[in-house]
Structure 1
Amino acid sequence: MRAGLVGQRAIKLLITSASILIFFQGALAIVTHQFLANLLLTHDPVRKQKHLDYSKKSFILLLITILDIVAPSKVRITTDSCSIPQNFVVNDLKTGGLLSGLKRKSVIISNHQIYTDWVFLWWLTYTGGLAGNVFIMLKKSLERIPIMGYGMKNFKFIFMNRKWSKDKINLANRLNDMDHNARGVGELAGKRFKSKTADGLEVWSDNDPDDVNTKEISWPYSLIIFPEGTNLSQNTRNKSEIFASKANLSNFKNLVIPRVTGLRFALQNLKNSCEVVYDATIGYSGVKQHEYGQDIYKLGNIFLKGHSPELVDIHLRAIDLHDIPIDDEKEFTEWLLNVWREKDELLNYYYSTGTFSKDDARTQIVTGSCRIKKAEMGQILAIPFLSFFMLALYFWNKYT
């Protein structure tokens, strides 16, 4: 019995050590790649951006590799047949994972339960070949993390102060950059904004006859936004109830009230390029109604101890941007609250039945592993494996 416990602890220690080694060596390789691209490809912005996009893809490959080793999960995608075509998501027979038909220029909105929500949504973009084109809004403080902060800057993630007066200019510039590059008339096509205001806003002129896509280069994007702004927890639920009471709104059972300003601003600035808004609702096995996923699946426990949900459920529906009243703040607020009411009802059903599928005739269900291609996993593990081999060889020569 005791020997068995010792063996289990040894295995957990080995898993933890392997996770740390793979992550830090992988992260170091990614930022080194970025540094060299920035240094050597200054005068070739298109090639440089392709390298930086590859480094972005490499980061999610790194995280999924670790998850697949220490905390494998299945992902069940449920799609709304009214807005998403048949066979939008299919099984990938080569990897055991999934393949999807995500559109090339989209915004993904989702409820926020645990710190790894964005990891599973990023993996979802990987299934559609868009892992290197993801953009996420993050807290400004994350920009200061050694090594990782440099990497995320090169990913062109959007760092937010959570004070609109400070965030508005930065967000507008980043969204304009995404939008113009997506239409092939941005800086990556040799174009420039026309002027800059005193407070730093970059002003583009879309009526200029020179602003045409002469090189036929456009850059896709998947912008992931959590309108709630934070994880669901007892603290955020209490704050949501206070806000709902002051605003004379009905609070939600499974969600917190979403913030309107940032999402509306993003959709307004991307309206010339955005093809679709995907509304994602996430649920996790092992989390019951009135429990908090962030308390059950903590970030460190997932990546270091292998304590992850066995099944991740994602319900997807597509919304045409033209059907969203982005030009009227009051109407947009009511639209977003209605989306969250529908999401809350869907989660009620999920917690009572364990699935998002209410009617098999109106929904499609596909389940696969949260996994990447073996060749890509091999690339991620090459450096840690070589390091382990060299270390083992050193001790072999020293003690034999």
Structure 2
Amino acid sequence: MNLSITGGKALLPGASEPKDVAVHVAEGRIVDAVLAEAETLDAKGLIVAPGIVDLGVFATDKPAFHFGGVTRAALMPDRTPPLDDPGAVRAATRSGKPDFWVHPLAAATKNLAGAELAEYALMREAGARGVATGRRWISDSGVMLRVMSYAAALDLPVFVHSEDGGLTDNAVATAGETATRLGLPQAPAAAEALAIARDLMLAEESGAHVHFRQVTTARGLDLIRDAKARGLRVTCGITPAHLFLSDIAVTGFLTFARLSPPLRGEEDRQACLDAVADGTIDVIASGHDPRGEEDKRLPFADAAPGMAGAETLLAMSLNLVRDGRITMGRLFELLSGNPARILDAPAGRIEAGLEADLILFDPDAPWQVSSSKMAAQAGNTPFDGLPVQGRVRRLIKGGTLIK
């Protein structure tokens, strides 16, 4: 339907704050012209923003995405079976339609085993928007160079997990006072920087665009910052959990805070906040990975890593704006604009010609995170019980009002 969204404040490209302008939609796309015949949607008291593009989720969980304002998501290849053939990729692209778009990431290696390369060209034709190593780091540098070279030839970004497996094998926590006090298997935070350093060298050798899905340490961020200064095609992301929680959150053996990479010390957390502010970090993603009781109601060392993050992504990220670290415009570059560019998706900004994926949200609406009331397939949130602000009131996908 043709639609005119009036009365709200729209977040336009390049603007640091939302402005009092109407947004017009015709035939599923954003247009500049005022429409003669259109339904009117009153956005009084709300901010009109691009729909969130969640970069790297592990499940197609539409109720959670709709609640959190996510209109598109890049799906990690860690499935059963993995996304390592064109048929699986094609099925994944259809899994969210018509009211949600899934952009699959092809498995870098067959069965995600880190050895034999999968067929990226055929998977790109089937709808893959990138190549990913999955939950693990590929330890064989020769294999990783071939992954990057093949992806670069097809102009596909490579999504990497950055933890040196030789150091992190069987570890469930970051080495430090908390892990020692709890007696948890631990690995040094330097495992991240070691993995990033190797992959940056291979990125320079291959010319590939490499996206470091989660960078969570000061040393890792310094490496990314230096690589960008040298002109390498690198981007990086983080989750709200690693911005707002430190390893103290696992005290009491709380398995909802069992994540991969694990939560870091306070010094690293502060470095991550600084990296969001100075532009080193390009993306804030949910890391959405709903895990049921069979995976989480276990001893900490045996519990599966992961969190249900889609519903809390916007509300938690808005704290960065309230704290004065970034502007609202910068926030939606992190949540929408940059992820859409990395995926080469025609969305992520309120700009004429792009698909009308929009959210209308109240940044001040209070609510409380509750693991037992979440819309997700499972409520394994490390923010359980936390009072937050920011609620999506309306969601538009491709010009269609979803809620």
Give the structure with the larger helix fraction.
1
Structure of larger gyration radius: 1
- The normalised TM-score by structure 2 is 0.29
Give the structure with the larger strand fraction.
2
